[in-house]
Chains A and B, each alone.
Chain A
Amino acid sequence: MIRIALLVAGKDLRIERRSRVLLWQVLPFGVTGLLLCGLALGPTHAGHSSAAPGLFYLVMLLVALLMINRSQVIEGSVGTKTSIATLGLDPAGVFLGKALALAVELWLTAVVLLAGSVLFLHTALSGTVSALPSVVVILGALAAAGTLYGALSGGGQGPATLLPMLSLPAFAPLLIAGERSFSAALDHGSIWRWWVISLVALVAYLALGILLYGVLEES
């Protein structure tokens, strides 16, 4: 399972590096979104607003939806799907690999957007850095949930509107935990309670994905 997971993750990341969709489309979209959030708050409020963590995660969510869709579209064409199906890959390994690749892409995006939140939303640098452990876990859980819901919404062949509709209720608790832990980090509070809750969510989504991904693929 781990061998297949690493193989699939390596393949997805190689495709992403070659296509440069993340670099030239997704990242500029996220940075622009963050900039617009800063402009919407206004210059006098941006530095004092408690909305910054929520806005950061809102932009991350929009970026994640794009990337989840992209991750599924890679496998989406009928021919590719059939050829890969005849490799008889372990679905649990495929799920873990796709989730890992998506997590790596989200983590890279988060580094840029966290820098953006310091610049555009004026979050404190020390607090932003303190939030990193929770950001890593939350985005890992988002990647696992997103990979699962990506397959549920048709694996790149379903209507594009289905993924947000299905996944947003599942993502909401993750965003709340993320926003709370980021806020706690900015206020020099303890982030560990939220970190543990996020970790439980990550493990739960990984377990669900390992169990259900094969069923969703077959259906």
Chain B
Amino acid sequence: MSNASPVVELRDAVVMIGGFPLLSGVTLEMPPHSLTVVTGANGAGKTSLLRLLGGLVALTSGYGVVSGVDLKTGDLRDLRRRVGWLGHEGSFYDDLTAKENLTFAAKALERPVGEIPTVLERVGLAHRSSTPAKQLSAGQRRRLGLAWLLLRRPETWLLDEPYASLDDEGRTFFDQLIGDVVAGGAAVVVSAHDPLRSSSLTPRTLTLAGGLVVGDDA
């Protein structure tokens, strides 16, 4: 953890969709170089919190700043460019190969496409670079998602249940990579049903219930 100014700052953040409160008044801060695990039961608001931090849902009331962008008055498209999202659903164009998906993202963000082979190598997908995303296994798709984020180098990583359907090797790989990313200065927020089992990471764990933070081990 660091004492630098927070990457995420929320005060009484409320998110309503269709009159239903997804978040009911969340207050928290996250510094850079930090790893936060958000746990809670289904419907507790984990994904909604991540989506709020990514500028993917609007802040209904309260105050929120992520990566210097005010969630109420700032340019949410600018914020989205600064965060990286890895969902538990498929996150790619199924008919494009792993390399083509990464090339699309790199060109969209004007990042060098020359980094793609290195990134694929790092996530262990170099041998699958020409495979369409729909032919990759769930674990390989998750690794491709990580490659997408490594290529983008976002300030804030939002990982929505990244451990789902991963084997032990995949979990270990994820833990190592998350550790490296946090050491590199990013703030990483992971949603998970249960606290992390890894002994190599020492995250702060937030527990959500009914759209509220009911536990914080910070």
Contact = CB atoms under 8 A, between A and B. Distances in A.
A86 B55 CA distance: 8
Interface string A74-98: 1001111011011111000000000
Contacts, number: 66
B71 to A, nearest CB: 14
Given A86-B54, A87-B81, A80 B96 contact: no
Interface string B70-93: 000000011011011101111111
A82 B95 contact: no
A83 B104 contact: no
Contacts of B87: 78-79, 82-83
B83 A86 contact: yes
B104 A80 contact: no
Contact of B77 (A15, A18, A88): A88
Contacts of A18: 95-96, 132
A80 B91 contact: yes
A78 B90 CA distance: 8
Contacts of A74: 93
B56 interface: yes
A89 B108 contact: yes
Nearest to B84: A86
Q: Which among B108, B109, B132, B145 has the greatest number of chain A C-beta atoms within 10 A?
A: B108
Contacts of A86: 54, 56, 80-81, 83-85, 154
Interface of B: 51, 54, 56, 77-78, 80-81, 83-85, 87-93, 95-96, 100, 104-105, 107-109, 132, 145, 148, 154
Nearest to B108: A87
Contacts of B80: 85-88
B85 A80 contact: no
Contacts of A66: none
A161 interface: no
Contacts of A89: 108
Contacts of A83: 85, 87, 91-92, 145, 148
A19 B132 CA distance: 11
Interface of A: 4, 7, 11, 14-15, 18-19, 74, 77-80, 82-83, 85-89
Residue of A86, A88, A89 with most partner-chain B CB within 10 A:
A86
Contacts of A79: 87-92
A85 B91 contact: no
Contacts of B108: 4, 7, 87, 89
Contacts of B83: 86
Given A87-B105, A87-B108, A77 B89 contact: yes
9 contacts: A15-B96, A18-B132, A80-B92, A82-B85, A82-B89, A83-B91, A86-B81, A86-B84, A87-B81
Contacts of B132: 18
A78 B89 contact: yes
Contact of A14 (B78, B89, B100): B100
Contacts of A87: 80-81, 105, 108-109
A218 B77 CA distance: 10
B79 to A, nearest CB: 8
Among A4, A15, A79: residue with most chain B CB under 10 A: A79
